Structure 1
Amino acid sequence: MPESKGARRRVPKNAEPAPVVEQVPEDDSGKTGKPPGGQVYQKPTSQGSLSDLWSQHRAHVSGLIYTVLSLLTRFYRIGHASKVIWDEAHFGKFGTHYLKREFYFDVHPPLGKMLVGLVGLLAGYDGNFEFKSGEDYPEEVPYVEMRMMLALFGVGMVPLAWYTGIELGFSDWASHLFALMVLLDVGWLCISRFILLDSMLLFFIVLTVFCLSKFHNQQSRPFSVGWWTWLTMTGVAIGCATSVKMIGLFVTSLVGLYTVEDLWSKFGDLQMPVRTHVKHWTARIFCLIIIPMIVFMASFKAHFMVLNESGPGDSQMSSLFQANLQGSELGTYPLEVAFGSRITLKAMGFGGGLLHSHPHLFPEGSGQQQITCYHHKDANNEWTILTPWDQRPYSPTDPIRYVRHGDVIRLNHDLTTRNLHSHTIPAPLTKLNHEVSAYGNTTIGDVHDYWVVEILDDYVLGSRENVPRVRTLTTRLRLRHQVLGCYLYASGKSLPQWGWKQIEVSCIPEDDPKDVKTHWNVEGHWNNRLPPGDKSNFKTSFLRDFVALNVAMMNSNNALIPDPDKQDILASQPLDWPFLHLGLRMCGWGDKETKFYLLGNPIVWWSGSVSLIAAAVTVVVYLMRMQRQYFVMNDADWDHFLYVIKIAGIGWTLHFVPFMIMGRVTYVHHYLPTLYFAVIMCAHMLDHFVFSSPRFSTTGRAVTFAVYAAAIAGTFWWFKGMAWGIDGPILEHKGLLWRKTWNIYTQ
C-alpha cells in the first residue's frame, strides 16, 4: 500500500493539514504513481538513445510477445480431436443455416453465429454437414480452419488484458501477472479452441473494459479526438458483446453505472457551464445508447437479409414474417377466410404458438382431450371452421360465406374430429381461467363449442371498421366463448410432462382487448374454393420482426429451466463456480476418445475469488480508518484505488448475481466472463499491497512475482491436457483430482 512517510500517524480531527509536496520516485516497476483524476503521465520525448526507444516501446514489445504466446497456446493441437465437440453441434449447425440461407431460431442474438457462418465460408465449408454431437468430421469439412479463425478472438484477449492493465494504472509487475493469468487459464484456453460463441463474447467484454479504461484516461481532455474515439469504441464494443449473447447486457450495465457516476460528478461541478453539461449528456446518449442499439439492430437486419429462405425456425416468427420467406407456402394461401376453410391459428402473445390438439387427455379436470399451443408445424394444428349446431351444416355446394366480425363459429380438429370447447372447470395451470378442451366429434357437441369472432384490426387495412372479413396472416382477432363470455388465451406457461411441455391454453374471463395473449391470427389457410393469395398482400416491417424475434428469444431463454425428471450431469450451480467445485465434460469419456474437461486454472480462479473478499475487507477497513481521521493515502491514489475496485467488483457482481436469481439451467462456462473481473481484482490487490507498496523492496517484488507466476504456469502445465486433449484411458492420467467433486475419473 503506497504511503508517504509517517502515514500511520493520527491527524487531529480539526487540524488543518499542512501542504505536502510529494516526490514520486520511479521504482523498478517503471511506475511513477497512480495517475491523478484518471490522467496518464506523458512519457518524456525520445532523445534518440536505445534506452529511450525501449522505454517508449517496451509495452508494445510485451504486447507482441503475449500475442505470440497466445497464438501458440490457442492453436497447439487445435485439430487433434476430429469429432464434433460439445456445443459445436449447435453453433456449427447455425453456421450451416447461414450458408444455406435457411431461417432458424436460437435464444442468442445473431452476430456470433453469423461470424461462424462467415468463417465457414472463408474456410471453404459447403454447408452439407449436420454437426451431430460426437460425430467424426469428414475430410471435406474444414473444421480445423474454422476453429483457428474463431480462436483468434481468444488470442486477442491476452494482449488486450496486457494493455488494459496498463490503462488501469497497474505497475509493470501487476500488468504482466494480469496478462499471464489470462494467457494461462485453462478454462479460457479450452473454450477458445472450438466452434463456439464464448470466445467472441469474452473478446468483446475484454474489449469493452479496455475501451472504457482508455476513455477514463481521456477525461482530462473532454471532447478531444481521443476522448471521442474511445467513447465511441466503448459503445461499439458493448453493442458487439450484446449482439453475440445477451450476457453482454451485464458489461453494458457496468458502462452505464460508470457513466451515471461520471455525469453525477459533473453535475456537482458548479463551474461547468450548462452548455458543457448538455454536450456531455448528448455525447453519452449518442455513443453509449444509440451506437450500441445501431450495432445490435444492424446484426438482426443482416440476419434477416441473409436468412431469406424458409427453414426450421419459421414457426417462432410472426405469420407475416414467414410469408415473406422464399419457399414459404404462407404467401400463397387464400387471402380471405370462409366457412369450410381449414386453418391454423397462431397465438400472438409472448411465448405463444399454434393452436394444437392431440389424442391425449387431461389427467385431471374434465379428463377430456388436451388443447395446447405448439411451436412446430404438423397436422395436429389444423382446424376446420364450421357453423354452429343450430344452423344449417356447412356444405361445399353452398355459396361462399366469409367469416366476419361477430360471426359464431365452431372449430373442428381435423385429425381427431373433436370440437374446441370450454366449460367452468379450472384450467390446469392458470386456475382462475376456464379449461379449454377438445370434445365431441362432427355429429356430437353442445353450445359450449361456440366461439364468437371479434376482429381487432388488420396489419394492412388498419382499424376494425376497415376490415369487412377475416384475412389470412394480417387480421388480428379474438375468440370469445359465447356461453361463458371468456376469451381464448395462450398463457405462455409450459404444461408438465403429461402435456408434453407445450403451452397452456385456457379461457380468461377478463375482457381486455389490449391483452396480447388473447390475440390470434389465421396463419395456415386451405380452401379449394378460394383463389390463391399474393405475397404482395403480406408485407411486414423490420421493426416488427426485430421485436418479435427478441421477445421469442427472451421467452425461449427463460424456458431453459432444469428438468426435475432428468439428471443433467453437466449442469452446475453459480455457487459452484468461484472455487471450482465442478467442471464440465465437453465430450465422450471413452478410453479411445480425446477428452476435454472445462475447468479453470485453480490458482487463477481461487486467487481471484479470494481477492474479491480481500478487496471488500480492505475498503471497509480503509473507510473506518478514514472516519477515525487516520491518513490512508492521498486523494489521487484513493480515487484511483476505488476506481479499479469499482470496475472489478461491480463488474464481477453484475456478471455473477443474475445467475443466482434466474431460473434457467446454468453451466460452468457461464462464469468465464465473470472470472475476468475477479482476475482484474486479483492483479489490483497484489499491485496495491506488494508491487506498488514501499514496504517491499525490489527483491521482494521480484520474488513475489516469480513465485506467483511460477504457480500459475506450473498449474497450467499440470492441467494443460484438459484444454489440449487427454488421450487414452483417463485413469492413466494421475493427479488431476484436486477436488473430490470433479467428475474426472468417474465413468
Structure 2
Amino acid sequence: MASEFRARGAKQASPPATLPPPQYQSRYPPRDHHLDADERKALAQPGSLKQSQHAFGGLRLASSEWKLLAGIVVLALCVRLYHLGWPASVVFDEVHFGKFAGKYIHGRYYVDVHPPLAKLLITFMAVLGGFNGEFDFKEIGLPYPSDVPYVLMRSLPALMGVGVVPLAYLTLRGLDCRPATALLGSLFITFENGLITQSRLILLDSPLIFFTALTVFCWVGFSNENHQEPFTEDWWLWLALTGLSLGAVASCKWVGLFTIATIGVATMKQLWDLLGDLKVPPRVWMKHFLARALCLIVLPITVYMAVFEIHFMVLQNSGDGDGFMSAQFQQSLKGKGMHDTWADISLGSEITLRHVNTQGGYLHSHEHNYPTGSNQQQITLYPHKDGNNNWRILAGHSEGQPDHDFATEPIKWVSNLMSIRFEHISTKRRLHSHDVRPPVSDVDFQNEVSAYGFPGFVGDANDNWIVEIEYGDSHDKHSSGRLRTLGTVFRLRHALQGCYLFSHKVKLPEWGFEQQEVTCNKNAVKANSLWYIETNEHPQLGENDEKVNYRRPSFLSRFLELNHVMWTTNAGLTDRHAFDSRPESWLTLKRGINFWVRDHRHVYLIGNPVIWWLSTAAVVTYLLARGLLVLRAKRQYKDLNNSFIVKYDQICGFLTIGWFIHYFPFFIMSRQLFLHHYFPALYFAILLTAAIFDLATSSFKPKIRLQVAGVLIVAAVWTWWHFSPLTYAGEWTRGKCDAAKWRKTWDFSW
C-alpha cells in the first residue's frame, strides 16, 4: 500500500520535496496519483493504512511501514554488527583514528587534517569502555590487548552506518516515492559491501555519511513543510535540524562542505522561485532569506566552531602536534608556557631566534658537520626547545677590534641596519655564510650557512649580518625602530654575499637528523626569510627593566590558525599510496583498498558491484534523459508541462546535483585520494537509482513492482554474500578468491 509522508494537519496533499517552481504547484495531482484503482479503493476504506498513520517529526508514515522499517533496521544491525570484534587487531586507518582517542584521553595536542567531531564521538565510546589511552595503535595488524575496548569503539561507526538505512527509506518516502522504492533503496544501502566495511571499523566515513544522509532527510522534511505552509513551528524545526546536521557533517570531514554546497544550491533554487512568484511580497521574501541565512549559515558555523572549542578544551597539554602551530598557539598549551623575558635586545644579549614561517622553528646548530661543501658545522631549523638554540649577539666584525665585555660596557640597542654577528653559545662558533652551495638545495642563488670558528679566532667578515626590520608590533611603539623581543620581525642580510638567512620545508637527510634546511638565499621569498627573537637574557638587565611574553591567543585566532594548518597539511598529502586511486576509476569500481591481511584472510574495501554499477547506470540514464528533454524543449515539445515528468525531473535532478557536487571536485584535487572518498556521492547515486526505479515501474501494478524490486534485492544480497569474506575477513579457498575477482584490477590475493 502506498501511504506517504504528509505534513501534520494538512488539508490537501503537498507536491514532492524536490523544490518545483511555484508555477508548477497547481499542476501537481494528489500525492497518491500514481496508485491504481484498487489501491485508491482500499485507501478509501475505514481502517485503511492511510487512516492509521503515525506522525514522525512533522511527517506521517503508515503504521505498517513503521513495522517494515523496523524489520529493515534489525536486518541492518545484523549485517553491520556481525562479528564486529574480528579482526582483533588494528585495521588500516585505525592506526590514526584509534590513536587520536588516546590523545584526547591524555589531553595531548595533535594535528589532523579532519575536523574533530567524529573523533570526539569515538573517544566518548572509548571512555565508556574504560580505555586508558596507553595503547598506541602504531601499526596495522597489531593485536588489541584485552584492556582496549576496540569493539565498543567500532560500534559507534557501525551504529551510525545502521542509521543511514532508515534515513534512506524515509528520504525516499519524503520525495514521494512508493514504499517498494524506499524498500529497494534502503536495502541497497544495507547490503553495499563498501559501506559495510567502512562502518565496521574505527574510521570517520560512517559518521560522515550518516550526517550527510541526515542532512538530506531534514532538508526533504523542510521542503515538504515549506510547500504546505512556511513559518510554522514544524517549518522552523525542520529548517533548524537541517542547519544542525550541516554543522555536524562539516565537523566530521571537510567532504561535508560538499553537502553544504548541495543544500546551498537547493536553497538558492527555492529563493529564486519565490522571487519570481508575484504573490510573495518582497518583505515576505526577505523573511524567507533571513530565516535560511540564520539556520543554514549561522547555525552550521556555530556548530562547527563549538566542536573546535570542545577540541581545544580537551587538548590542553603539549603534544606531538605542537610543531605545526605558531609560537603563540604553542604557548597556550600546558608544558609550553614561557617565563617573561626582557624586551630590549642589545649587543651581548643571549637569545633564541625563531623563523616566522614554516611553523616557527628555532635557528639551531650542533656538533656535527656537513658531509660535503665546506664540511663546517651544520646550521638547521629545529622545532623544539633545546640548549643548542641559544645564540649571543655580537657587534659586527672589524679587523683588529676585539670582542666587548658586555657585562660592564654600556648597553647598545640593536637597531635597524646595524651589522651584527651571532655566536653559538654551546660550541662558540659563529653564524657564517660564504660562496659555497648548500648540500641539499644545490643551486647558484643559495649559499651554505654554517657555524664556523675555533678558540682564539675572532672571526671574519663572512660572519657579519645586517639587520633589516620589516615591521613591529602595533602594541609596542619601539619595536619598529630597534629589535624588541617578540615584537620585531626582521630579515638578516649577509654583509658580503647580499643573500638573506632563509629556511623552507626542505629537510636534511639522516646526516642532518631530518631537521629543516637553513641557507642564505639571494632570491629569498620574503615570508621564508623573516625572523623574530623569542627569548632574551642580558647580564645588565634587571628587575626594573621591561619584560614581555606572548599574548594568549583568542579562541577565534586559534580556530582560524588550526583550520589553516589543516588546509595546508591536507593539500600537502600528495605522496602516492599503494592503494590510492583517481576519481575516474570510481564509477566502474576499478579497484579497492587492501585494509588488512592475515592467514589468507582479507579485509578488502570493495563495493557491491550490482549496487555500484546500477547506481552509475542510473546517473548516466538521468543525464541522457535530461539532455533529451533539453533537445526536445528546443524543438518546442512541451514535456515539462507534464506534471508527471516534472515530478521525476525534480526528484532526480536534486539527487544528481548532490552526486555531482560530492564527486566532481575530486578531479581538481592533487592530493592523495582513495575509493572511500566516493561514498557520499554513492549515497546520492543509490537514492537516484531508487528514484529511477520508481519512475520505470510507475505503470506497474503493486505486485509486479514489488516482484521487480525483489529480483534486484536478491541480486544485491547474493552479491553481498559472494564478497562477504572480503567484508568480514572470513575464511575462503583459493578457488573462491579467484572467483571473486570479477575484474583483473581487483588486487586482492589468496
TM-score, L = length of structure 1 = 0.83
Match of 1:10 in 2: none
Which AA in structure 1 matches 2:119?
K
**Residue 472 of structure 2 corresponds to which residue in structure 1?**
457
Deviation at 1:63, TM superposition (A): 2.8
Q: How does 1:629-708 map to 2 (within 5 A)?
A: 629-632=636-639, 634-688=641-695, 690-692=696-698, 694=699, 696-708=700-712
C-alpha distance in 1 between matches for 2:262 and 2:62? 32
Residue of structure 2 aligned with 1:131, choices 115, 137, 148:
137
Q: Give the structure 2 partner of residue 16 of structure 1.
A: none
Matched, 1:224 2:228: no
For the 8 Å contact 1:95–1:113, the answer to whether it is kept is: yes
Any idea what the Cα deviations from partners look like across 1:285-336, whole Å, max 9, x if unmatched?
2212211111111111111111111111112112122222212253466666
Q: Check conservation: 1:408, 1:453, Cα contact below 8 A.
A: no
CA distance, structure 2, for counterparts of residue 497 and residue 615 of structure 1 = 56
C-alpha separation in 2, matches of 1:495 and 1:264:
57
**Whole-angstrom distance in 2 between the partners of 1:20 and 1:146:** 51
The aligned residue for residue 558 of structure 2 is: 545
1:590-617 Cα shifts (integer Å, max 9, x gaps): 44xx521111111111111121111110
Letter in 1 for 2:288: H
**1:273 matched to 2:281:** yes
Q: Is the 8 A contact 1:157 1:182 kept in 2?
A: yes
State, as a whole percentage, how many aligned pairs show the same letter: 34
Provide, for residues 529-574 of structure 1, a one-character-per-residue CA deviation record: whole Å limited to 9, x for no partner. 87899997642211221111111111111111125xxxx3222222
Number of the residue aligned with 2:302: 294
C-alpha contact (below 8 Å) 1:343/1:522 kept by paired residues: yes
Q: What root-mean-square deviation, in Å, do the aligned CA atoms of Structure 1 and Structure 2 show?
A: 4.0
Q: 1:580 aligns with which of 571, 589, 593?
A: 589
In structure 2, the CA distance between the partners of 1:455 and 1:642, relative to structure 1 (3 Å rule), is same
SS of the aligned residue for 2:672 comes to coil
Range moving further from structure 2, 273-282 or 399-408? 399-408
Distance 1:50 1:153, change over 3 A: closer
1:470 maps to a residue whose letter is: R
Q: 1:316 to 1:279 in 2, by over 3 A?
A: same
State the one-letter code of the partner of 2:431: N
2:369–2:375 contact (8 Å) kept in structure 1: no
Structure of greater relative contact order (alpha carbons < 8 Å, 6+ residues apart): 1
- Greater CA deviation, 274-283 or 344-353? 344-353
Instruction: Name 2:6's counterpart in structure 1.
Output: none
Q: CA deviation at 1:575?
A: 1.9
2:230 & 2:532 partners in 1: Cα distance? 53
> What's the counterpart of residue 248 of structure 2?
240
Q: Which moved more, 1:367-376 or 1:608-617?
A: 367-376
Task: Determine whether 1:121 maps to 2:127.
Answer: yes
**1:715 partner letter:** T
How far did residue 73 of structure 1 move? 1.4
- Return closer, same or farther for 1:642/1:470 CA change in 2, 3 Å cut-off: farther
Q: Higher mean Cα deviation, 529-538 or 719-728? A: 529-538
Matches within 5 A, 1:703-742: 703-727=707-731, 733-742=737-746
Show the counterpart of 2:4: none
Q: CA deviation at 1:482?
A: 4.8
After superposition, the Cα gap between the structure-2 partners of 1:614 and 1:310, relative to the gap in structure 1 and judged at 3 Å, is same
**Residues 1:615 and 2:614 aligned together:** no
In structure 2, the CA distance between the partners of 1:50 and 1:450, relative to structure 1 (3 Å rule), is closer
CA contact (8 A) 2:438 2:449 kept: no
Decide which moves more: 115-124 or 393-402. Answer: 393-402
CA displacement 1:463-501 (0-9 Å, x = unmatched): 5558865224x6544445555766555556789999998
Deviates more, 1:660-669 or 1:387-396: 387-396
SS in 2 for 1:458: coil
Q: 1:383 to 1:120 in 2, by over 3 A?
A: farther
Pick one of 103, 106, 113 that aligns with 2:112.
Answer: 106
Q: TM-score, normalised by structure 2?
A: 0.83
Q: Is the 8 A contact 1:103 1:311 kept in 2?
A: yes
2:329 aligns to what?
Answer: 321
Aligned residues of 1:111 and 1:299 also touching (Cα < 8 A): yes
SS in structure 1 of the partner of residue 108 of structure 2: coil
Classify the secondary structure of the residue corresponding to 2:177. coil
1:383 to 1:671, Cα distance in 2 relative to 1, 3 A: farther
Question: Structure 1 residues 124 and 166, CA, compared in 2 at 3 Å: closer, same or farther?
Answer: same
| 1:226 maps to amino acid | D
Bigger mean CA offset, 225-234 vs 117-126: 225-234
Structure 2 Cα separation of the partners of residues 169 and 302 of structure 1: 40
| Unaligned 5+ runs, structure 1 | 1-18, 33-42
Name the stretch that deviates more: 80-89 or 429-438. 429-438
- Distance in 2 of aligned mates of 1:302 and 1:95: 14
Q: Would the aligned equivalents of 2:122 and 2:156 in 1 still touch at CA under 8 Å?
A: no
Q: Which moved more, 1:437-446 or 1:501-510?
A: 501-510
Q: Is the 8 A contact 1:426 1:432 kept in 2?
A: no
Distance 1:69 1:503 in 2: 54
Of 337-346 and 209-218, deviating more is 337-346
Cα separation, 2, equivalents of 1:129 and 1:87? 15
Q: CA deviation at 1:174?
A: 1.8
Q: 1:340 to 1:683 in 2, by over 3 A?
A: farther
Aligned to 1:470: 484
Moved more, 171-180 or 534-543: 534-543
Residue number in structure 2 paired with 1:743: 747
2: CA distance between counterparts of 1:644 and 1:431? 59
CA change 1:626–1:717 in 2 (3 A) is: same
1:209 aligned partner:
216
CA contact (8 A) 2:27 2:643 kept: no
Q: CA deviation at 1:337?
A: 5.1
Q: What is the identity, as a one-letter code, of the residue corresponding to 2:686?
A: V
CA contact (8 A) 2:507 2:515 kept: yes
Residues in 2 aligned to 1:53 and 1:430: alpha-carbon distance in whole angstroms: 80
Match of 1:562 in 2: 575
- Between 1:298-307 and 1:450-459, the stretch displaced more is 450-459
Question: 1: CA distance between counterparts of 2:511 and 2:223?
Answer: 56
2:376, 2:452 within 8 Å by CA — same for their partners in 1? no
**Cα offset for 1:369?**
7.9
- Alignment of 1:257 onto 2:272: no
Residue 12 (structure 1) aligns with: none
1:324-403 aligned at under 5 Å gives the runs 324-331=332-339, 339=347, 343-349=351-357, 353-355=361-363, 373=381, 375=383, 383-390=391-398, 392-393=402-403, 397-398=407-408, 401=411
How far 1:139 moved relative to its partner? Answer: 0.9
Whether contact under 8 Å (2:342, 2:535) holds in the other structure is no
Q: CA deviation at 1:173?
A: 2.1
State the distance in 1 between where 2:371 and 2:290 align. Answer: 57
C-alpha distance in structure 1 between counterparts of 2:515 and 2:45, whole Å: 70
Is 1:31–1:172's contact at 8 Å kept on the other side of the alignment?
no
- 1:97 maps to what in 2? 103
Residues of 1 paired with 2:613 and 2:460: CA distance? Answer: 68
Unaligned stretches of 5+ residues in structure 2: 1-25, 54-60
Aligned to 1:14: none
Q: What SS does the corresponding residue of 2:320 show, helix, strand or coil?
A: coil
- AA aligned opposite 1:705: A
Aligned partners of 2:28 and 2:236: how far apart in 1? 34
C-alpha distance after superposition, 1:319-367 (max 9, x if no partner) = 1222222122534666665555555444334666444668686989x99
Is the CA contact 1:204–1:238 (under 8 Å) kept in the aligned structure 2? yes
- Alignment of 1:437 with 2:441, yes or no, is no
* Conserved 8 A contact 2:49-2:62: no
SS for the counterpart of 1:438 is: strand
